[in-house]
């Protein structure tokens, strides 16, 4: 089977089941696990990529963080990481991701999630807001994001990504839920996504985030 570094590529079945953004899956299939696929890029090349799966008492995000720290990245270089994840980070992992980025000022991180993890819990909502506050945008995966993840991490045998039924509908529903948690509007999210293609928009995105945070900061 084709590999990424020392890991096998995901099978099509694994990808479609675990990255599927349907709110529920039919029984008797088991609970969908956390898969985190990442691309670590220098300005002109991909430096490293791979994926992690959650293990008992060892979340996929923590395994990813340990991997990045083990690389001893060159402090004079600028790196960008794009993550595709099946479940959004829990509050604990959100704090660890923030600590990673704070310790590596040359590193930027963007997360695309298929589904929101226990989104009704206040602590997980706070974790998502904290990530955005520290300039780690968490965005909902749309069809182009699923396709890019498919192209880079799936043993697809040169087959193109085939969207499942209601993919866009499920993405839009999850995005509305995320926006309510973050208490921001679609303009912010559009700008964050657009900055992926146009780095010049980053300053505008940052300005909007500062305005949002100032508007919701407790008054004396």
61 catalytic, yes or no? yes
pLDDT above 70: percentage of residues in the chain: 77
Using alpha carbons, list the distances in angstroms from residue 42 to 31, 47, 51, 144.
35, 6, 18, 22
pTM, 2 dp: 0.81
Residue bearing the bigger pLDDT, 73 or 185: 73
pLDDT at 215 over 80: no
Q: What is the pLDDT of residues 35-51, one digit of tens each?
A: 999 999 998 888 999 99
Sequence-separated contacts (24+) of 208-217 with Cβ below 8 Å: 209/132, 209/133, 209/135, 212/183, 212/184, 212/188, 213/133, 216/183
Using alpha carbons, list the distances in angstroms from residue 172 to 57, 92, 115, 176.
32, 26, 11, 6
pLDDT at 8 over 80: yes
Q: What is the pLDDT of residues 11-69, one digit of tens each?
A: 999 999 999 999 777 655 666 799 999 999 998 888 999 999 999 889 999 999 999 99
Q: What is the pLDDT of residues 124-168, one digit of tens each?
A: 999 999 999 999 999 999 999 999 999 999 999 999 999 999 999
Backbone angles phi, psi at 99, to 5 degrees: -60, -40
Q: What is the pLDDT of residues 164-204, one digit of tens each?
A: 999 999 999 999 999 999 886 555 556 555 555 444 445 44
How far, in Å, CA of 142 to CA of 140, rounded?
6
Residue-averaged pLDDT of the chain:
84
Domains defined for the chain, CATH in brackets? 3-183 (3.40.140.10)
- Token pair recorded at residue 97: 């991701």
Q: Count how many Cα atoms sit within 13 Å of the Cα of residue 46 in the half-sphere of its side chain.
A: 9
Q: Which of 45, 61, 165, 175 is catalytic?
A: 61
Closest CA to 90 of 128, 138, 64, 53: 128
């Amino acid at each position: 089977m084709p590999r990424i570094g020392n890991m096998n590529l995901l099978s099509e079945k694994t990808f479609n089941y675990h990255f599927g953004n349907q709110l529920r899956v039919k029984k008797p299939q088991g609970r969908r696990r956390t898969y985190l696929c990442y691309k670590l890029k220098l300005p002109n090349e991909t430096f490293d990529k791979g994926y992690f799966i959650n293990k008992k008492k060892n979340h996929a995000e923590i395994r990813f963080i340990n991997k990045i720290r083990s690389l001893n990245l060159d402090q004079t270089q600028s790196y960008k990481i794009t993550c595709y994840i099946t479940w959004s980070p829990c509050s604990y992992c959100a704090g660890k991701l923030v600590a990673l980025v704070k310790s590596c000022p040359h590193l930027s991180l963007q997360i695309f999630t298929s589904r929101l993890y226990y989104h009704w819990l206040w602590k997980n909502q706070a974790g998502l807001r904290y990530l955005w506050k520290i300039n780690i945008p968490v965005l909902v995966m749309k069809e182009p994001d699923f396709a890019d993840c498919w192209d880079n991490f799936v043993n697809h045998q040169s087959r193109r990504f085939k969207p499942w039924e209601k993919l866009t509908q499920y993405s839009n529903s999850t995005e509305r839920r995320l926006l309510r948690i973050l208490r921001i509007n679609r303009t912010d999210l559009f700008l964050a996504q657009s900055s992926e293609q146009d780095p010049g928009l980053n300053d505008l995105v940052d300005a909007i985030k500062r305005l949002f945070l100032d508007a919701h900061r407790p008054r004396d």
